[in-house]
Chain A
């Protein structure tokens, strides 16, 4: 394992498999326990440095660190010196001076975790940076697919939605490719980046053509404000052409699953009856997120305090 987890490409196949296997072991170790805690990171300090609102991801990381017995500090842009204009570098050095061993960072600017990693001695975990990557989301998605389908090799995954602005899509394309899955990206042409052709994934504009062959359909959140920038004409047209509704769900294979990284726009990219169906893994993804993040923190920080 590398020292930091900044992007999915930091993990080769054996590293990625190790994270998933470790998450499975952790999950097994905690199952049925009254006290859901392992002593592994006792005495270590993990800082959650969140420059963007993200209840879900922050709580997931917080819970992961706490279940490993680490001390956790939550540092959010609101109500800290950040709002008074302190630079990212100064904030990072301050946190390190206070003894942080790992910094989990969520930031609106692509690349902020990379820069942070060049300034601090401890490990840095990217919890989502701008429109770049969100590697632990990809890990929990891979974990969920493996748990449901029993494999990743050869699994056909359709990732549908705002690929252009999606850090989830970037991380999933890379990680799923590393793990042997076959990814097809589906979106209107306006929501692909120029240069998507260089990614290890197929590209399609036609959801209905892709669905019958998909083992996994991963729906991405589409923000309504994209509409005002003419990425598509209207929410209704988007939903009609690229939304996953019951009619489309009916063409999926028997074992196919439906995923969404949340938060969902019900009625936009995913219909309520789809989100709540037995194919949906949305709640499992959230639960798996804690195990996978425990595995990441354990592998990056594991062992005795130095």
Chain B
């Protein structure tokens, strides 16, 4: 089936028609026609290249009660994504070619987005010895991003070796920056609110110290480094300094860190417990500025589904993490576009082009021009809706945006010319 998309504003520009044929964009121009093509009226809609997420937790294998590759893929497609990286902290851990191939194959079978497995840096995420990174890179999953996410590769010597080793196959280590000795028992951002609430603090310095260390290591060994979920103003400063020095470092920020602050912890609702924790308003402003000026390269959701019993409990016992895939674009519109910090071209760059480049995904993050793969999203920026967790495609309900009115609606998503979402509904 071919598709003729009429009147879409590519990257927010003037309306044009796009002809999608055989999985590729065949033509872009005014008043296109194509016999036999399904016509999609995209008047008023913005077209962006399909979004790419460097950071999700799809929970399969191991916690299929919280999410599966299929339900997570559906949530991703509904959020406008065409490719998502699936973190390695599954059970068993994705630290072998066998597990990454399993996740990759589940993604292919779901067929809603390209599921790109992330390989663990260390065996069992234990931070003691390197996993078989080369085997994962050479597997059918062609892993390029390696991360112990959820855990920091805290041992500096091991981190150095990992950074060096993945150079052989153009890989990148995505560091969860958290000095573990400074965050023992940590529950929320350490500051005025943690003091008041009596919750053990997670100091900003625990993140910043690791980023500072790792940019120096990356420069020393000439390796590529990616920093997961940057959450503090200080981290942005260190990254800005490192980039100015020529360090090959990239970084991501989550939608929730662009919007929410530690004030959310006041009612002790564990839906707002996340790692790294929600920070202060000053941090939020610095993260937005860093994303706007390119110091932070990408928005990545850190989509972290959790079963009800892991969230409806005491704050200290609750698992950290929150859903993100289905609201990511809306949060970015809310915090970056409607504030004038990014235009739609900027959104495409931070949510598609750069994350695809970091992950070395050649078929994603491409311009919407003839000959390119037809990976794209159509969104209605004028729509507004209140988030209802019960209506989400994710198997879990731990959305921090419940009841919040957000702008924008993903109307359609195309994966290599095949609509995965039409009229806001998943197609499989």
A: residues with CB less than 8 A from B are 87-89, 107-112, 114-115, 118, 129-133, 167, 170, 193-199
Contact = CB atoms under 8 A, between A and B. Distances in A.
Contacts of B315: 109-112, 115
Interface string B261-273: 0000001110000
Contact of A195 (B192, B267, B269, B309): B192
B191 A194 contact: yes
Given A112-B314, A130-B316, A193-B201, A87 B309 contact: yes
B290 interface: no
A167 B195 CA distance: 11
A129 B198 contact: yes
Contacts of B268: 110-112, 114-115
B316 A195 contact: no
B199 interface: yes
Given A88-B313, A199-B195, 20 more contacts: A87-B309, A88-B314, A109-B316, A110-B197, A110-B198, A110-B199, A111-B199, A111-B268, A112-B314, A114-B267, A114-B268, A118-B267, A130-B198, A167-B198, A193-B195, A194-B203, A195-B190, A195-B192, A195-B194, A198-B196
12 contacts: A87-B313, A110-B198, A110-B199, A111-B197, A111-B198, A112-B268, A115-B269, A131-B198, A132-B199, A170-B196, A195-B195, A196-B195
A109 B187 CA distance: 11
Contacts of B196: 170, 195, 198-199
B314 A133 contact: no
B357 interface: no
| A129, A130, A133, A170: most-surrounded residue (chain B CB, <10 A) | A130
B318 to A, nearest CB: 9
Contacts of B200: 131
Nearest to B194: A195
| A112, A195, A199: most-surrounded residue (chain B CB, <10 A) | A195
Interface in B282-331: 309, 312-317
B105 interface: no
A289 B365 CA distance: 66
B193 interface: yes
Nearest to B184: A229
A89 B312 contact: yes
B198 A194 contact: no
Interface of B: 187, 190-201, 203, 267-269, 309, 312-317
Across the A-B interface, give the 8 residue pairs with the lowest CB-CB distance, nearest first. Answer: A111-B268, A132-B198, A195-B195, A109-B314, A193-B195, A131-B198, A195-B192, A110-B198
Nearest to A89: B312
Contacts of B199: 110-111, 130-132
Contact of B201 (A112, A114, A115, A194): A194
| B187, B199, B269: most-surrounded residue (chain A CB, <10 A) | B199
Contacts of B194: 193-195
A49 B309 CA distance: 20
Contacts of A87: 309, 312-313
Contacts of B192: 195, 197-198
Contacts of A196: 195
Contacts of B316: 108-110, 130
A170 to B, nearest CB: 6
A266 B190 CA distance: 32
B201 A89 contact: no
Contacts of B317: 109
A195 B314 contact: no
B267 to A, nearest CB: 6
A115 B314 contact: yes
Contacts of A112: 268, 314-315
B281 to A, nearest CB: 14
A38 B313 CA distance: 37
A194 to B, nearest CB: 5
A256 B5 CA distance: 82
A104 B248 CA distance: 56
A170 B268 CA distance: 17
B314 A194 contact: no
Contacts of B269: 115
| B198, B199, B312, B316: most-surrounded residue (chain A CB, <10 A) | B198
Contacts of A194: 190-191, 194-195, 201, 203
Contacts of B313: 87-89
Contacts of A170: 196, 198
A115 to B, nearest CB: 6
A202 B115 CA distance: 55
| B190, B192, B195, B267: most-surrounded residue (chain A CB, <10 A) | B195
A129 B316 CA distance: 11
A113 to B, nearest CB: 9
Contacts of A109: 314-317
A194 B317 CA distance: 23
A197 B193 CA distance: 11
A43 to B, nearest CB: 32
A114 B312 CA distance: 13
A110 B315 CA distance: 7
Contacts of A131: 198-200
Nearest to A87: B313
A189 to B, nearest CB: 14
Given A89-B313, A111-B315, A198 B267 contact: no
A107 B196 CA distance: 17
A116 to B, nearest CB: 10
A162 to B, nearest CB: 12
A227 to B, nearest CB: 16
B191 A111 contact: no
